[in-house]
Amino acid sequence: MKLEHIGIAVKSLGVSDELFAKLLGKESYKKETVEREGVVTSFYETGESKIELLEASNPESPISKFIDKKGEGIHHLAFGVENIYDEVKRLKNEGFQFISEEPKEGADNKLVVFLHPKSTNGVLVELCQEKS
Ligand SMILES: CC[C@@H](C(=O)O)C(=O)SCCNC(=O)CCNC(=O)[C@H](O)C(C)(C)COP(=O)(O)OP(=O)(O)OC[C@H]1O[C@@H](n2cnc3c(N)ncnc32)[C@H](O)[C@@H]1OP(=O)(O)O
Ligand SMILES: [Co+2]
């Protein structure tokens, strides 16, 4: 597994894109809305991994709930895997809980699935696989 991206919950991509472009010295390479997840994303290349800024696209978004509860900040870690179906099986056998076991379309041309933070030391973990 490799650290594919760090998801950061932000109130406004307009404000945070300006901040991260200054911080990283580069512009976001992709903005993408994933309505099913209730997010608008903005991606930055940072060497081997990426930063994914996440703004809620609707009031029911998990990002809205997260920010209401915890404020802006690191939201999840995403690990890149070769075969997401094999990894779900392996981790289920290891006793990890999934929010939903069925990988779905994510952003940045990926299939994604999430483990419940309760079974990962309070860290929301995403697995993602490049869609062929
Ligand atoms: C763009 C697509 C994709 C990509 O391609 O990269 C993405 O990254 S989409 C990112 C947004 N989508 C998701 O986060 C989907 C997975 N998340 C969920 O299903 C929910 O957010 C959740 C994790 C199940 C929590 O939802 P819910 O139970 O309704 O909220 P609560 O506030 O009641 O949380 C319960 C419990 O979990 C803790 N929690 C919530 N979010 C996080 C988090 N990001 N990191 C760590 N812990 C989290 C929350 O604090 C509660 O704990 P307790 O207070 O101890 O009960
Ligand atoms: Co993500």
Q: Give the chain's domains with CATH numbers.
A: 2-130 (3.10.180.10)
Query: What is the number of the ligand closest to the CA of 36?
Result: 1
Measured in Å, residue 45 CA sits from the centre of ligand 1 at 24
The residue to mutate among 65, 120, 125, having the most atoms of ligand 1 within 8 angstroms of its beta carbon, is: 65
Query: What is the number of the ligand closest to the CA of 106?
Result: 1
If we measure between CA atoms, which residue out of 106, 127, 103 comes closest to residue 32? Answer: 106
Considering only CA atoms, which residue is closest to atom 12 of ligand 1? 37
Report the DSSP beta bridge partners of residue 52: 7, 43
Measured in Å, residue 73 CA sits from the centre of ligand 2 at 13
For the stretch 71-128, pLDDT in tens is 999 999 999 999 999 999 999 999 999 999 999 999 999 999 999 999 999 999 999 9
Query: What is the number of the ligand closest to the CA of 74?
Result: 1
As a whole number of angstroms, the distance between CA 70 and CA 85 comes to: 31
Q: What's the token pair of residue 92?
A: 């289920």
When the pLDDT of each residue in the chain is averaged and rounded to a whole number, the result is 97
As a whole number of angstroms, the distance between CA 62 and CA 123 comes to: 15
Pairing state of beta strands 110-115 and 125-130?
antiparallel
Share of the chain above pLDDT 70, in %: 100
Question: Do the interacting molecules here have an ipTM over 0.85?
Answer: yes
Say whether 108 sits in a helix, a strand or coil.
coil
Which pLDDT does position 43 carry in this prediction? 98
Residue 7 Cβ contacting ligand 1 at under 6 Å: yes
**pTM here?**
0.97
Q: What's the token pair of residue 86?
A: 């094999």
Could you tell me if residue 124 is left (phi over 0), alpha (psi between -120 and 50 degrees) or otherwise beta? beta
